[in-house]
Amino acid sequence: MAPAEFERSTAFAPGHVTGIFRPESEGRDPRARGSVGAGLVLELGASAIARWSPGPARSVRVRDASGGALPISETVVRRLVGDRRGRCVVLVRHDLPVGQGFGMSAAGSLAAGLAVAPLVGRSTQSARETAHLAELFGGGGLGGVAAILGGGLEVRDRPGVPPWGHVTHTASDRVVFVGTVTGPIPSPEILADARWLRRIRSAALPLDRLGPRTEWDEFWAASEAFTDRVGLAPPSLRSLLRGLRRRGVPAAQAMFGGSFFADLGAGSTRARAVEFLTRAGARGAELRLAVRGARAGRRRPPAGRPA
């Protein structure tokens, strides 16, 4: 028997750190729900490889590089495949820690959707909307998919996935240090707690002073104020943030994670910050901001090998 032919497609979606946000879930259409806020789109993110082979039955399998299940990404793929018969296998690789506020859930979900969509006759927009809805209802996040459709510094001034939502992306050649201090902070529990939501909305007041073309220093001031007002950072993370700020380094918690991001600057400020981080044993790396947002790779023709 000849081997089944398959098609292969790839996609990449960048990671993201949220500096400040406010949930907005009042829209009748869930595609218009999510959050407003501001963040940085990172050069590292999540990559997906999708394989599709026609067949008599419907089969969907979505896994990460270690073989672990990815329920939100799998929801995206199943919805895009629909009732179409065949075998769909998707491998997702995350460049940054999952559950630490680096946007890996949204990046993985969107990358998986963008990789699968062309194989099953669905549009890029349908992949974006499906990923947004899966994140919204699956506990992944509120605005991550919309934020990573472009690069640089992003400001979401209307909630939801575009065109329902609106995001302004400002290109930047800046470098940001991202690091982890403690274990993950479970965002679904926080976003489902009315007390935390009231606290987050109150802490997001600096958003009212940010415009679509927010300057670098304005973003950091708003992010630091939000971190401090929310008060979600564990003691060890708060201590590290205070230490960086005392050395002239803007630093904030990555929402939501036992993690942080900082602008180490240059010269003596940078030297003091690097020495402090080394002594504190903080794990992390400097990353450039992404130039581009999420995108699909080139679709491969049938290769004549088993899927």
- 223-267 pLDDT tens trace: 999 999 999 999 999 999 999 999 999 999 999 899 999 999 999
**Distance in angstroms (rounded) separating the CA atoms of residues 250 and 224:** 7
**Rg of the Cα atoms in the chain:** 20
Residues of 176-208 as b/e, b for ≥16 C-beta within 10 angstroms? bbbbbbeeebebeebbeeeeeeebbeebbebbe
Mention every residue, 6+ apart, whose C-beta is less than 8 A from residue 231: 199
Cβ distance 152 to 290 under 8 Å?
Answer: yes
- Going along the chain from its start, the domains and CATH numbers come out as 1-302 (3.30.230.120)
CA distances from 290 to 43, 170, 275 (A): 4, 11, 27
The answer to whether the CB of 108 falls within 8 A of the CB of 69 is no
Residue 115 phi, psi (nearest 5): -70, -35
Q: How far is the C-alpha of 48 from the C-alpha of 40, rounded, in Å? A: 22
Instruction: Tell me the whole-structure pTM to 2 decimals.
Output: 0.92
Report the candidate in 163, 110, 166, 117 with the shortest Cα–Cα distance to residue 140: 110
Which parts of the chain have pLDDT scores under 70? 1-6, 298-307
Q: What is the DSSP letter of 30?
A: G
Q: What is the pLDDT of residue 199?
A: 93
Instruction: Using alpha carbons, list the distances in angstroms from residue 108 to 38, 184, 254, 255, 278.
Output: 20, 17, 18, 17, 31
257 in Cβ contact with 184 (< 8 Å): yes
b/e sequence 69-87, b meaning 16+ C-beta within 10 Å = ebebbbbbbbbbbeeeebb
Please tell me the distance from the alpha carbon of residue 220 to that of residue 153, in angstroms, as a whole number: 11
pLDDT tens profile 151-187: 999 999 999 999 999 999 999 999 999 999 999 887 7
